[in-house]
Chains A and B, each alone.
Chain A
Amino acid sequence: MIQVKKFSCIDEFGSPVIVDASFTVHNTDRVAILSRSQESSTILCHALAGILHRTHPLHKIEGSIFYNDRSIEEIDSHERTNSIVYVLPNSDMLISGVKDTVFGEIALSLELIGVEPNVIRARVSHILQQLDIERLADRDPDNLSGGERHKVALASMIIRRPDVLILDNPSMFLDVTGVTNLLNILRNYEGTIIIADPNPYIWSGLSNRFIVIENEHIEVFNSAKTLIGALGNQIIPLELPSWTGLYLKLRDTLELNDEIDSTHCLPALRAVSGALP
């Protein structure tokens, strides 16, 4: 369980990024972070992963974040990375450089935590199959395309099965099949999942809670129904195509027939038409 208490973050120029946020993420939650700016959702992800003070050393941070009733700052990096894993969008960074095959690269994540070789083989084969990248098993991780590398990086992180998996912009570099495969893996994932993605409608079927960052303030919606109410009533403006997409997707999922004010979000609707999965 992650508890965020009165968390604020101000950037090095004095502009607030997140102000006075308080919420709790429970063990079985699947949380989607919706934000107009990619920066604020990334900062929230870093804060939840306990690395914000290192990635943004000049930002002023207030408030506290607790993981299982212990301050996240007090948990050492070894213990933290065993339980909370943050998958950053730049997959290039996640490739270790010490393995010459994709199979070895993914296996490394388990070798590091002392998993037995026969278990490693089975788990790596399984995740390669799940992400449909078996054909890459013998390839050099340094000679892959951006999308392939991203899939390998995702596999390397998910295979460790941490208690909390934080995915920052996971749909970047992924094709439709890649997104569908990832979605299938996450559906059966046993831990907590936190996803920040500029295309939230992709993950709407997976998420049961929504954190919306609007003008530096955080609002938490505990169900799709409460979020759709806020979206439909323009409490959250729908001018972003991706948010309109989310609204439409949720409306379809919940089988609602309420109309949205098309004059308000016509350009966004136009942009999103055809982009919905």
Chain B
Amino acid sequence: MIRYLPHPVPTVSFLLCIIISGFILTTGVKYLLSVLLLLFFAFHINGKKILLTILKIVIPLCIAIGLFMTFIYPETERWVTIGGMRLSHEGLTAAGDMTSRIIFLFTGIIAFFNLITIQRLGSYLYQKNLPVWLVFILINGLKFVDRFRAKLNEIHFYQQIRGMPLENVWQKWRATVKILIPLLYVMIEESSNRAIALEMRGFTATAQRTALQPDIQTTTDKLITFVFFGFIILLLVFGFIV
């Protein structure tokens, strides 16, 4: 496991690197190699968690896209028959490209959130003298999914206590759909209450802020940022020209 916890700047540059390379890198074997490299890297950060997320969300999504495209790709000129099934050749290629990109981007984003805590990112942005309301919106936006999931689990827990059957995925799905809109409404209302609460904490203060622990970049952080940005430049140059 990687022990080094990077500064927000190299971590953000890592994310930028992932997003740009996800769209620019050539497809095919080279691309597949880069996906494997990223998966290997992600596995070393928080392997089990990342791998589970990929298996549970990304792979089923990719299979769905793959199946959809190989059967009904609109720009098909060549059809191939595999195991008695008539599949689109262009659809297969496009599905391969798209799914590998999805795996790449998802893995990168999951790895990003495993490399940095939202608090650390928030703390850094706050120290950079960004308006506090902007930091609040960014951080709460990032935390929204987590809070939503926690609230949903809490409701499911109480529903189960009251005797509602929530044993399988279908039952959970049905229960979720019914409470989705009221829950979203509650979450939005909660956000406005949170804004008032944080105003009470002094988030609207206009004084020159101080920092108890200034977030300073180490030489390693600077070096990693340099490497990532170098890689982005290489991607831009070779990705488009070569």
Contact = CB atoms under 8 A, between A and B. Distances in A.
For chain B, the bracket of interface size reads 35 or more
A190 to B, nearest CB: 18
A113 to B, nearest CB: 5
Nearest to B206: A78
A18 to B, nearest CB: 20
Given A55-B196, A99-B119, A100-B120, A114 B201 contact: no
B200 A94 contact: yes
Nearest to A140: B119
Contacts of B211: 111, 117
Nearest to B208: A114
Contacts of A140: 119
Interface string A95-129: 01111100010011111111111001100000000
Given A104-B212, A104-B213, A112 B194 contact: no
Interface in A48-89: 49, 51, 54-55, 77-78, 81-82, 85-88
Contacts of A30: none
B119 A117 contact: no
A189 to B, nearest CB: 17
Question: Main SS of the interface on chain B?
Answer: helix
Contacts of B125: 98
Given A98-B123, A104-B123, A160 B202 contact: yes
Contacts of B222: none
Contact of A98 (B119, B193, B204, B208): B119
B154 interface: no
Contacts of A109: 201-202
A33 to B, nearest CB: 18
B143 to A, nearest CB: 6
A111 B204 contact: no
A275 interface: no
A78 B212 contact: no
A81 B195 CA distance: 13
A50 to B, nearest CB: 10
B64 interface: no
A115 B133 CA distance: 20
A204 interface: no
Nearest to B119: A100
A120 B212 CA distance: 7
B202 A112 contact: yes
A81 to B, nearest CB: 6
B207 A98 contact: no
B193 to A, nearest CB: 6
A78 B200 CA distance: 9
Contacts of A117: 210-212
A165 to B, nearest CB: 11
Contacts of B205: 78, 81-82, 112-114
A207 interface: no
B197 A88 contact: yes
A120 B202 contact: no
Interface in B197-239: 197-213
Contact of B198 (A55, A94, A107, A115): A94
A86 B122 contact: no
Given A98-B122, A109-B201, 12 more contacts: A54-B196, A81-B200, A86-B200, A97-B139, A98-B126, A107-B212, A111-B211, A111-B212, A114-B210, A117-B211, A121-B212, A160-B202
Interface of B: 117-120, 122-123, 125-126, 132, 135-136, 139-140, 143, 190, 193-194, 196-213
29 contacts: A49-B200, A51-B200, A55-B196, A77-B204, A78-B204, A78-B205, A81-B200, A86-B200, A88-B197, A93-B197, A93-B198, A94-B197, A94-B198, A96-B201, A97-B118, A98-B119, A98-B126, A99-B122, A100-B119, A100-B120, A104-B212, A112-B202, A112-B207, A113-B207, A114-B207, A114-B208, A121-B212, A157-B201, A160-B202
